[in-house]
Each structure stands twice: as structure tokens, then as C-alpha cells.
Amino acid sequence: MNKKKILLLIPAYLLLLAASFGITYAYLISKETKVNEFTVGENTVEVKETFEPPEELKPGASIRKEVQITNTGNLPCFVRIRADFSDSKAKEFCEYTINASWADGQDGWFYYNKLVPPGETTEPFFDGEIVIKEQKADGSAYDQADMIEFDILVYVESCQHSDHTGDCADDEYRTIWQ
């Protein structure tokens, strides 16, 4: 190769190198961002309770205890509840019924038989008031000496429903906890 060609190729090569550097640099510093926005489902519930104890605990007295559960999350959910007496003797002299919207699971838990949408509240757990019995199982009368102070402790659990539209089978509340 002669000297003239080499002298012409060197500036052409340098020009090509400078142009490719500029293109590569522009490619590497260009930036485009996209934000993937998503929200996380929240499965939370709140116990709403109205409790009015009698002035004196005696046979025939009534206790108003209204327990309801509100879905404070953003997903439909199923709820279950367990109510335990702080003293087993107290459970013997109390009489109460459970609302028909709550199914006895035979495992210590009662299951609300409907899906609870966000912001909605269940039917009350107790159907009416809790009444102190006047007679023991053997027919004898309870007296003041039989009365003991007690608490009814309420435990609640919730389970998010997998279909966020809220469509579910009528008996799904029984199987969701398995």
C-alpha cells in the first residue's frame, strides 16, 4: 500500500471510530423508565362488640353481648369465631343461642356462612342475649353462691377469598380453612 492511501485511510478510520463512539455513548446513556404499579391485597378484620353486663350477676339476669366482624381489608374474606368462657363453671349456668348465619364446625369454631365483602359486617354471633339460668340440670335452683364472675373471650380469624370478584360456592366457607 502506498503512503497516500494510508494517509487517507487513517482520517477515515478515525472519523468512523468517532461516529461509532458517539452512537454507542448515546445508546448507553439513553434511559426510559416504566413504573409497574400494583397494590397488595389486605386481609384484615375488626371485631365490633356491644357489651352490657347486668348490674348484679344473679339467676335470671340477661347479658347483652353483640359481636360482629367487619372486613376492613380490600379483599372479600371468610371469617370464623370462637367464644370461650374464662371459667367452665360459668358456661354451665349461661344459656345462649348462636345466630343461624354462623355454622358450628364441630371443631370449636363457628364459621360465617357467607363471604364478607370489603367494608361489610357480619350478622351478630349471639342470637339475642345471654341469660343466667335459674335452674341447674338436676332441677335445683341456682342461688347467688353459685354465681362467679367470668369473661367471654372472642377469637376471630379471617381467610382471604381467592376470587377477588367474590364469586364462590355456597359451601366454600366450610372448605377454605383446610
Q: What integer pLDDT is reported at residue 103 of this predicted model?
A: 92
Please give the average per-residue pLDDT across 53-71, as a whole number: 91
Q: What integer pLDDT is reported at residue 142 of this predicted model?
A: 83
Give the predicted TM-score (pTM) of the model: 0.72
3-class secondary-structure state, position 144: helix
Please give the average per-residue pLDDT across 69-92, as a whole number: 91
Q: How confident is the model at residue 163 (pLDDT cuts 50, 70, 90)?
A: low
Whole-angstrom distance, CA of residue 130 vs CA of residue 141 = 18
Please give the average per-residue pLDDT across 157-161, as a whole number: 87
Whole-angstrom distance, CA of residue 114 vs CA of residue 100 = 11
Q: What integer pLDDT is reported at residue 164 of this predicted model?
A: 58
Q: Which amino acid is at 92?
A: E
Give tens-digit pLDDT for 26-36.
Answer: 777 877 778 88
Q: How confident is the model at residue 92 (pLDDT cuts 50, 70, 90)?
A: confident
Residue 166 has pLDDT above 60, yes or no: no
Q: What integer pLDDT is reported at residue 160 of this predicted model?
A: 84
Please give the average per-residue pLDDT across 127-147, as a whole number: 86
Q: Burial letters for 31-70: b for 16+ Cβ neighbours within 10 Å, e otherwise? A: eeeeeeeeeeeebebeeeeeeeeeeebebebebebebbbb
- Across the chain, mean pLDDT equals 84
Give tens-digit pLDDT for 15-26.
Answer: 777 778 777 877
